[in-house]
Structure 1
Amino acid sequence: MADLDPTRRLCTLFAEALELDHVTPDTDFFLAGGHSLSALALAVSAEESFGVRVRVRDVFEAGTPELLAARLAELSPDAAGTSAPVQRPAAAPRDAPTPDSSLPGTPVADGTRWLWLERQRGEGDFGAYTVPCLLHGEGLVDPDRLAAALATLARRHPALRTRFVEARGEPRAVLTDDEPPLEVVDLGARQLSEARFDALVDDRIAVGFDPATGPLIRATLFLRTGERWLLLLLADHLVCDGRSLEILARQLVTAYADPSSSGVLRRGDAVPQGPSAVRPRDPEVALAHWQGVLLPPPAPLPLPVRGPRVEPAGATTAIAAREIGPDILRRLTHLGRQHHAGPFAPLTAAVARTLADITGSTDICLGTPVDRRALLGAEDAVGFHVATVPLRLDVRDGMSADDLVRHVAQRTMDAVDHSEVAFDTLVAALDPPRSPGRPPFFDVWVALYPHIDTGPRPPDGITLSGGPTPLRVGMFELSFQFVEHADGMRLVLQYDTLRYAPDTAERMVQRLVDEVARLLRDPAEPVLEAEPTQQTFSGFQFDA
């Protein structure tokens, strides 16, 4: 693209990041459908093209091709002209260790190392580290062909055939020849109640993974007569994250439609250390950012727990849930776009104000995952490519909805820009006080899970739709999860049953309902409708 002027070059990059045919110089990235993750992808591609450091905040503040071209000219007038792209070196390994052939496998990335160490600090129950996904399938399905497609994915993604062993107190990744096991449960024409089906699913989720033995992914195909069936995908968090579920579903449909794309599994393949960073970062810059944000550390929130925090958080959980209709979701998305964000910003703003009202605190710190695939050059890679980041928010009395959503959006962009530091490194460097049963820096987790839909069914193929489903165990005492689906979004509060009574959880989720209404400036409107709290899975009717 060296022959194009900067604005035209950025129009092309905007269109690629937004998955649009074309954009104009005055197209607003966020009003056209952009969000923090697609902004990260745009920042990376702009940096590769122009050879200057481009932050997500730059896209946030200069959200059109014309404005961003002017911003890049200010950063480096020479590099922002028509010069050829600058090729940047790959990032150096974390500690550049000397290879030791006496040790099994290979070292792992910082984020994977942190997750492995966290589970070692627990009491051996790995259930909280399972990533479950329930997908509604359509089309006549051949179990053998589906098993072959799953094997194709394992050959394509080394993470799915990796196990983790300990050597000298550190995790090492060992590549295997494992293929994901597929269990087939033929329900036939039985009129199975939703509760009984939930029990079948729960039984399979309850069987945890052992990172040292593997395999770390498995699937169950629930068959019945006709072209309707369900696929339960379960993976260990060490090899799978939320975005991986969408990648797996999409590529599974493709592999099922084209069995010839199976590839070849070679014994002895090396385990990749994660893709090389597109733009290496100085961790000291990120640490300086977090030092400014997180010091002095936020105090624990005075949440309405019903007893002392003695046991680890999340040993047993339940959920309180509500449904958000498509019209409300559209309005939330529009509110986010007005402030250069997606629906995550207004939803998180509602969570923050709910917690502020409950606790009386204006200093609200939340934990959330950041997908770093764009930074790693790993857009379609299955694996653990997320970072845990704290979102510290100042929720002042009388703060308008616009100001709060804008504040959340800015903090989210800054967190994405400085997400290269693993959470354990951040904790070790800033050394916050530790409270029993509480992660450092934050009490509450918040996450958004987009709806998975593989699109129209190919000839002689299948299609999948659905998304993640809550676990019976968790890693946090309170986790606000927003799960998009075909008819809107499900708001799920997963709570520790030893710390919170069911009626307390119901009151908290109802207050969140009220805050969503306040954000939309129409408190009188019945925004959300109640849904039973004891149903772990919903939206998949077997006997309809």
Structure 2
Amino acid sequence: MTDPIQELCRLFARALELEYVTEDTDFYLAGGHSLSALALAVSVEEAVGVPVRVRDILECATPKLLAARLAEARATAAGARPAPSSHPGPVPESVRWLWLARQGEHGGTGAYTVPCLLRGEGEVDTDRLAAAVATLPERHPALRTVFVERQGSPEAVATDRAAPLDVVDLRGEPLADGSFEALVHARVEVPFDLAEGPLFRATLFLLPEGAWWLLLTVDHLVCDGRSLRTLAAELVAVYGRLSVPAPPSAPGPGRATRSREESLAYWRELLTPAPVPLLLPVDRHRRGRAGAVTDTVVLDIEGRLVERLPALAAAAHAGTFAPLAAAVARALGELTGSTDVCLGTPVDRRSLIGRDGAVGFHVATVPLRLDLSGRADPAALVRHAAARTADALDHSEVAFDELVATLDPPRAQGRGPFFDVWVALYPHIDTGPAAPGGIALHGGPFLLRQGMFELSFQFVEHARGLRLCLQYDTARYDRDTAEQIAALALAELGRIAGEPGAPQPPSEPAPALAFQGFRFDT
């Protein structure tokens, strides 16, 4: 093998956490996904000095193929690298957009809270856990940051404000059905004061028979889903007096930032003409903001189907998100008769900005516009969803509010710009078994009773598989309608995965089921 290919093999192996790979190792078949592809693109770009996109990894998934593409890029780029963006602003654009959104119709609601409920393992010492919790704001400045307004824009201010661990002792009280869930909701829904802080809280619930749960509640301005995994791992390590890697104190080199003009040109081409709002099967007229009051339909995905997803995703050079998004798009197409479905989704930009390992808000909201026409082949649709996701990552420099302001799409009253439906995949948090004298944490997101969208398809990984949590606006949908929509999405997922005997969409409304409460970690 040539030296460039050897270097790429080394970088592939590091991204895949393997000892070695060959020049013909397919990145996705070896376990890669969209986030690890982004990390690989950044590391390759740093090593070779040529811009590398996630799309390049998607299309050239082996070291040998990628080496050939990089050789072509060197010949045409003449070694030029795009200049980093110098867009002014007191906070990152993604944070500024989220802060501005908070000043509008969603301000003051719990829709921007990031709650995580973790089942504890091991005998917990409340003083040791409180001490471990106290280290988190010290290690991560985002958790002691507040946001004050300066001439209509936010300014981040570091403080020394931190909330102590709140201990709720329920060991002597019999718990009625739903009472624990109600207690969690009550704490999750306490609003944060963005200008005063603190914007991070931790609550320990001590239950009968030695059971305990830890609730982490953080404002979205200083936290995202991946941050929660970092916090859980660090809590376990600090509690067990283990060595914890120092978080990045400043942005790393990251990747040469694509010009805003180039990214805007991509979005302008993709979103012009603007997507027509989907004729969603609402039960009532749209009044007021979306998601003011929501409920959730929870459906477990059969284990056999979950087992098929990694191979299906790998064949499309994607992670698990691509077939899930494709299934949601097909379900919405079936419901509305549309072949043009635009979804909203978050993409993680840590590797792009050199903030791997950092706690904070490092995601961008992007429109995922999928063309269902001529894609009767499920595999083709998954590849299409994978390509759109890769392109969204590659062009995520533009904050969503700037995208809306620049393209200025037409909007009907009560509708969002570009999309009304959200889709996301939330990984399971699992710190492994508890070490002697230590603790372990297992769990994931706690579902809110408020949201920002009419429909939010939240695929949540858990200890034994995957479930769909469809959060729906109760002002616009009856529960049986939401159940039909969720069932249709899972039926489409079965058909995409080639599951024998995949259920067909229900022809009549399903009977309303009594809500059995959230299943946190089962």
TM range (shorter): over 0.9
Name the structure 2 match of 1:534. 515
Q: 2:19 aligns with which of 14, 18, 21?
A: 21
- For residues 130-179 of structure 1, give each alpha carbon's deviation from its aligned partner in whole angstroms, at most 9, with x where no partner exists: 00101111011111211211121111110000011111101011111122
Task: Map 1:115-514 onto structure 2 (within 5 A).
Answer: 115-122=98-105, 124-188=107-171, 190-224=173-207, 228-258=211-241, 277-396=254-373, 399-514=376-491
SS at match of 2:107: coil
Structure 2 Cα separation of the partners of residues 488 and 150 of structure 1: 29
Task: Report if the CA contact (8 A) 1:126-1:210 is conserved.
Answer: no
1:370/1:392 CA distance change after superposition, 3 Å: same
Give % identity: 59
Task: Report if the CA contact (8 A) 2:224-2:362 is conserved.
Answer: yes
- For residues 399-428 of structure 1, give each alpha carbon's deviation from its aligned partner in whole angstroms, at most 9, with x where no partner exists: 111111111111111111111110011111
Deviation of the 1:538 alpha carbon: 0.5
1:302/1:170 CA distance change after superposition, 3 Å: same
Deviation of the 1:524 alpha carbon: 1.5
Deviation of the 1:280 alpha carbon: 2.0
Task: Report if the CA contact (8 A) 1:239-1:384 is conserved.
Answer: yes
SS at match of 1:235: strand
Task: Report if the CA contact (8 A) 2:326-2:385 is conserved.
Answer: yes
Name the structure 2 match of 1:268. none
Extract unaligned runs of 5+ from structure 1.
81-85, 98-106, 265-270
Task: Report if the CA contact (8 A) 2:278-2:336 is conserved.
Answer: yes
1:497/1:24 CA distance change after superposition, 3 Å: same
Deviation of the 1:47 alpha carbon: 0.1
1:170/1:198 CA distance change after superposition, 3 Å: same
SS at match of 2:103: helix
Structure 2 Cα separation of the partners of residues 159 and 207 of structure 1: 20
Deviation of the 1:337 alpha carbon: 0.8
Task: Report if the CA contact (8 A) 2:463-2:521 is conserved.
Answer: no
1:243/1:540 CA distance change after superposition, 3 Å: closer
Number of residue pairs the alignment of both structures matches: 517
SS at match of 1:320: strand
Name the structure 1 match of 2:84. 91
Deviation of the 1:274 alpha carbon: 6.0
Deviation of the 1:527 alpha carbon: 11
1:23/1:532 CA distance change after superposition, 3 Å: farther
Deviation of the 1:90 alpha carbon: 8.2
Structure 2 Cα separation of the partners of residues 198 and 423 of structure 1: 34
Task: Report if the CA contact (8 A) 2:109-2:450 is conserved.
Answer: no
SS at match of 1:456: coil
Structure 1 Cα separation of the partners of residues 469 and 352 of structure 2: 30
Task: Report if the CA contact (8 A) 2:236-2:439 is conserved.
Answer: yes
Q: 1:76 aligns with which of 64, 74, 77?
A: 74
Tell me the amino acid that sits aligned with residue 538 of structure 1: R
**TM-score normalised by L of structure 2:** 0.93
Task: Report if the CA contact (8 A) 1:277-1:375 is conserved.
Answer: yes
1:112/1:272 CA distance change after superposition, 3 Å: farther
Using the TM superposition, name which of 406-415 and 427-436 deviates more: 427-436
Task: Report if the CA contact (8 A) 2:82-2:259 is conserved.
Answer: no
Structure 2 Cα separation of the partners of residues 415 and 262 of structure 1: 31
Structure 1 Cα separation of the partners of residues 163 and 227 of structure 2: 15
Extract unaligned runs of 5+ from structure 2.
none
Task: Report if the CA contact (8 A) 1:322-1:490 is conserved.
Answer: yes
1:459/1:52 CA distance change after superposition, 3 Å: same
SS at match of 2:178: helix
Using the TM superposition, name which of 376-385 and 392-401 deviates more: 392-401
Tell me the amino acid that sits aligned with residue 158 of structure 1: P
Deviation of the 1:534 alpha carbon: 2.9
Tell me the amino acid that sits aligned with residue 487 of structure 2: Q
- For residues 290-319 of structure 1, give each alpha carbon's deviation from its aligned partner in whole angstroms, at most 9, with x where no partner exists: 011000000110011123322011000001
Structure 2 Cα separation of the partners of residues 79 and 9 of structure 1: 21
1:37/1:532 CA distance change after superposition, 3 Å: farther
Deviation of the 1:181 alpha carbon: 2.7
Task: Report if the CA contact (8 A) 1:149-1:259 is conserved.
Answer: no
Deviation of the 1:397 alpha carbon: 5.9
Task: Report if the CA contact (8 A) 2:424-2:459 is conserved.
Answer: yes
Structure 2 Cα separation of the partners of residues 354 and 342 of structure 1: 20
Structure 1 Cα separation of the partners of residues 448 and 135 of structure 2: 28
SS at match of 1:121: coil
Structure 1 Cα separation of the partners of residues 220 and 252 of structure 2: 18
Structure 1 Cα separation of the partners of residues 369 and 29 of structure 2: 26
Tell me the amino acid that sits aligned with residue 248 of structure 1: L
Structure 2 Cα separation of the partners of residues 162 and 533 of structure 1: 42
Deviation of the 1:327 alpha carbon: 2.9
Deviation of the 1:228 alpha carbon: 3.2
Name the structure 1 match of 2:492. 515
Structure 2 Cα separation of the partners of residues 37 and 398 of structure 1: 26
Tell me the amino acid that sits aligned with residue 101 of structure 2: E
